[in-house]
Structure 1
Amino acid sequence: MSDKDKIAIKQDENGLLPAIIQDSNSGEVLTLAYVSPRSLRLTLEQGEVWFYSRSRQELWHKGETSGNYLKLISIHADCDGDSLLLKVIPTGPTCHTGETSCFFTEIKEFPEFNLGDANSSILNELFSLIKERFENPIDGSYTNSLLEGGAPKIAQKIVEEAGETAIEVMQGNKQLLVSEVADLFYHTIVSLVSCGVEINDVWEELRRRRG
């Protein structure tokens, strides 16, 4: 491989890359998904496409449930190294709806836009980290000290942080308000992990209320 063929792959702020999936035979674009370094390695090693599910925060072997695998033919990076094109041979419909391609909805007029979930990604990451601490405790970890204290200690901290947040709301100090809200978010997520509640359940409830 010459120097001009070498390219540094650039991950986004969540450590992922968008990947366009194209039928190697027909040229049809099948879907757009995301890959992580780990899922990309598995794809190259096994010859079948692995994605990273942003909603479930886990690796996803395409076809493992449906039987509709994507056999890898080739992978190309774009000129900036921040997105990939995977040419594949599908063994069945790619879309979960049963359609061959996920791109079956034609837009004929200016569409309605819904607010995406990009800003919730850091909270998903925090949830995953706290859950990791819960499953694999680390000596001296503040998170583990909260989890070990159980509901009484966690609830006490949430009440404390909520009170401090309310004070900053009344005083109008924006910088301190940001800090207190961050503390409140953190301790609330600790409570979710402690109670065995998935953060995606919270997102679903918010989506339901948005409607």
Structure 2
Amino acid sequence: MNVDFNKNPNGLVPAVIQDASTNKVLMLGYMNSEALKKSIETKLVTFFSRTKQRLWTKGEESGNVLNLVDIKLDCDSDSLLIKVNPKGPTCHKGTDTCWNEENKQSYGFISKLETTIASRIENADSEKSYVASLFAKGINKVAQKVGEEAVEVVIEAKDNNDGLFLDESADLLFHYLMLLQAKGFRLNNVVDVLKSREKK
């Protein structure tokens, strides 16, 4: 890995630390060539501390280490993206990240949709909200709707109308997310099961 440590007069390059599972950015540190070498050798992320003026392995005192998974060099060869499996909170203040965010998996729009569903269930008037009205009818009705949408997906899969197939697929996913919440779960719980089945 040809890192250009000479671009900065102090010989340091920024290292963005990202959780390998959730893709959350956890912290920003700095490395010199010795810190990078030690990180690779020990599989524990090590920085050059600008305040202590020495090599510093994250978690050397707290035990909250960053287990190295992967290192990528940027297009200018002067910054690093380091993927890790963190042990415990990353920030010295005890939070998951140095931006005070929870380190949990996010699926972009799907996660936003899950939040919207939860909000409609908790706050919306069942006469105005489709989600709230369906939930008000009980879990059997929610489950029945998932079954109906699944059948529609199968029917459209056998046809050649891609638009209808995608529409029905969206309806199925939407109602499945509702069913998960009716059972007290989120998509993360299903992903955890899938991960447990992954062949190493």
Larger Rg: 2
Give TM-score, length-normalised by structure 2: 0.50
Give TM-score, length-normalised by structure 1: 0.48
